[in-house]
Structure 1
């Protein structure tokens, strides 16, 4: 008798990859494009996970909507340029243990993997190709087609793609936006502590993990899947 399907959805920036260097540099280009003062590094990293249009309104609330559009395009152009200069592996390196865990979970026939990210489809496609992650994720939810996190739309669509319900789904992410999105969708939120929001902000998480090695036993506990 086959085991029921399970779905593990991963955030990307701050969860699977550490892209903070390029994020801060691209944001500097965005603010320079409208001659606005650059927020602090901590302020910039605090909005990682939000869709860019929302992030710009949070970071520069006094700027007009036209400036926000210019900033979004300047950010995208700078980010893609920076990544092209050094390559994906150096620009957005995987966190230690991330690739091993993805491959291990993908090897379990009852576990399906997905992504829910504030990145664009273009950005996610390049990252997946650059790290050789092709074929691992059966559902890929990006900012192009959904409201910004923490709206639960991404998780709802991921579950529809996978054919599973909330009780069989976990959302793994590093920000409060990820955990609030999980709570809004009625799924288990697993907060990781190595990303861009501290554990004190992950109050909506059902569980916290401090390393990727802690993830398989936690999923075993949640789903009762033999290790």
Structure 2
């Protein structure tokens, strides 16, 4: 765990009661799926296919906004069409034999440990609610989360709406709330909501960028979060 100098931590914060997790790139290793589906969507429109790295840069944004960023110019109708192709590619991939998006190491153990401490847990994701519930059910972890916030219910990250809604639903203050994510969108969203932003080193944006965006610390392993809470 790497603490970042000058990050919003210290005596002014209360004991953590709510931990909010991002999904893609934080709990679930879904990069290969997202890259393949985004590239298939652009190919369907006979557009230049974005690189793997370019696609990983937009993970966490709501789907239409993500496709617009990859497109590189404001054409909302085209971005919506590309998003439609993405959904088609995703559903085809998800139902294909052998489909797998594994949890990152330590995810299950961490969720169990947090539950054992009596902490509330939530999700804030760029996925739609239908897709989020499918992922949680596939991995058998839906029971851990008392609040689910998705891109079809809120403005896209980094707007703080998802975290603010999670805090309202659980009755937690910003000083009692911590968010774990892998992109600068997650870090900026948490900071805008007044929650403690915590980054992970294994996701879609480099640790240095998470630090620059305001991450209080960078986790190298999930069990380091327990040390932070202690």
TM-score (norm 1): 0.91
Higher relative contact order (CA closer than 8 Å, sequence separation 6+):
2
Mapped to 2, the partners of 1:40 and 1:140 lie a distance apart of: 31
2:107 corresponds to 1:98: yes
2:39 corresponds to 1:24: no
1:210 and 1:50, CA in 2 relative to 1: closer, same or farther beyond 3 A?
same
Q: Of 188, 191, 203, which residue of structure 2 is paired with 1:195?
A: 203
Q: Is the 8 A contact 1:190 1:207 kept in 2?
A: yes
User: Aligned-pair distance for 1:108?
Assistant: 1.9
Q: Is the 8 A contact 1:50 1:148 kept in 2?
A: yes
User: Aligned-pair distance for 1:123?
Assistant: 0.7
1:177 and 1:29, CA in 2 relative to 1: closer, same or farther beyond 3 A?
same
Paired residue secondary structure (1:172):
strand
Which segments of 5 or more consecutive residues in structure 2 lack a partner in the other structure? 1-14
Q: Is the 8 A contact 2:120 2:146 kept in 1?
A: yes
Partner of 1:113: 121
2:71 corresponds to 1:71: no
User: Aligned-pair distance for 1:33?
Assistant: 2.1
Q: Is the 8 A contact 2:16 2:229 kept in 1?
A: no
Q: Of 87, 95, 109, which residue of structure 2 is paired with 1:84?
A: 95
Partner of 1:225: none
User: Aligned-pair distance for 1:64?
Assistant: 2.5
User: Aligned-pair distance for 1:104?
Assistant: 1.3
Paired residue secondary structure (1:93):
coil
Mapped to 2, the partners of 1:164 and 1:64 lie a distance apart of: 39
1:58 and 1:187, CA in 2 relative to 1: closer, same or farther beyond 3 A?
same
2:21 corresponds to 1:10: yes
Partner of 2:218: 208
Paired residue secondary structure (2:49):
coil
Q: Is the 8 A contact 2:158 2:188 kept in 1?
A: yes
Q: Of 136, 156, 161, which residue of structure 2 is paired with 1:148?
A: 156
Which segments of 5 or more consecutive residues in structure 1 lack a partner in the other structure? 221-227
Mapped to 1, the partners of 2:139 and 2:195 lie a distance apart of: 28
Runs of 4+ in structure 1 displaced over 4 angstroms? none
Paired residue secondary structure (2:68):
helix
User: Aligned-pair distance for 1:208?
Assistant: 1.2
User: Aligned-pair distance for 1:134?
Assistant: 2.3
User: Aligned-pair distance for 1:79?
Assistant: 1.1
Partner of 1:168: 176
- More displaced, 99-108 or 41-50? 99-108
Mapped to 2, the partners of 1:56 and 1:28 lie a distance apart of: 10
Q: How many residues align?
A: 215
Partner of 2:227: 217
Please provide the CA RMSD for this pair. Answer: 1.5
Mapped to 2, the partners of 1:86 and 1:106 lie a distance apart of: 33
